[in-house]
Amino acid sequence: MKIESIFRYRDVFKNWINVLTHVIFNKYPVNAVMKDGSTLVIKNPLQCWLASYGVKVEYDEENDITSFKFKNRFFKFTGAGKNGDLADVFGYQEFKQLDFKDRMVLDIGASIGDSAIYFATMGARKVIAIEPFPKSFYSLEKNISLNECSEKIVCLNAALSKKNGEIFLDESVENSTTLMAQDLGIGVKIKTITLQSLIKDYELADAVLKIDC
């Protein structure tokens, strides 16, 4: 664990040593006390990671729904207990310096939709979200519906490639965050598409390109 992460836990949680001990030994749930006195039951590492940025995040284990408030808006995500990057997107806010307001965004490696939904709700005109792995893509579509972003986000179950064609992926993959879409030769068939084709098909000119794959 990086030293800045330890400082972040210290600044956010009153019982930060207890929380940190549970994180190190991967023991959940842990009862966390925020600096404002509110309490939080943390049930998985990804929830804890987001909470360490001061975001009061709840996790409904039975329905697999992670929910939190960000910039006066309420968000819900399915699949975020094991997948996605809510902490970097909504906690660290890694895209806050990016000039995407009123512009088209091409999101390559959209995962469960965290970044696509961030762009759509924070001012992008339209988002084209590309995600090849089936389980991540299922969560992507569901999360777009949960957050009422269907009019702003177009989802493509595809992999970016140097040529248009198809590959075969393992459809059982639950966490695609650090995986490359490599052709296995067996599994579920996913189409491949070039960056040039995406630019042409969606008439992208003054657009923002986000690649995290």
Where is average pLDDT lowest: 11-15, 132-136, 209-213? Answer: 209-213
pTM for the model stands at 0.93
DSSP code per residue over 72-108:
TEEEEEESTTTSS-HIIIIII-TTTTS--TTSEEEEE
**The pLDDT of residue 176:** 77
Query: What pLDDT score was predicted for residue 181?
Result: 82
Q: Which residue has the higher pLDDT, 173 or 8?
A: 8
* Predicted local distance difference test score (pLDDT) of residue 75: 98
Please say whether the beta carbons of 56 and 40 come within 8 A: yes
pLDDT digits (tens, 9 = 90+) for 150-199: 999 999 999 999 999 999 998 888 777 777 788 778 889 999 999 999 99
* Average pLDDT over the chain, rounded to an integer: 93
* 8 A C-beta contact, residue 194 and residue 162: yes
pLDDT 10s digits, 57-101: 999 999 999 999 999 999 999 999 999 999 999 999 999 999 999
Q: Does the pLDDT of residue 52 top 80, yes or no?
A: yes
Give pLDDT, residue 182: 82
Nearest to 48 by CA among 56, 121, 172, 105: 56
How much is the pLDDT for 69? 96
Set out the domains of the chain in order of their start, with CATH numbers: 1-92 (no CATH), 95-213 (3.40.50)
Task: Say yes or no to pLDDT of 128 above 90.
Answer: yes
The answer to whether the CB of 19 falls within 8 A of the CB of 13 is yes
Residue 36 CB neighbour total at 10 angstroms: 9
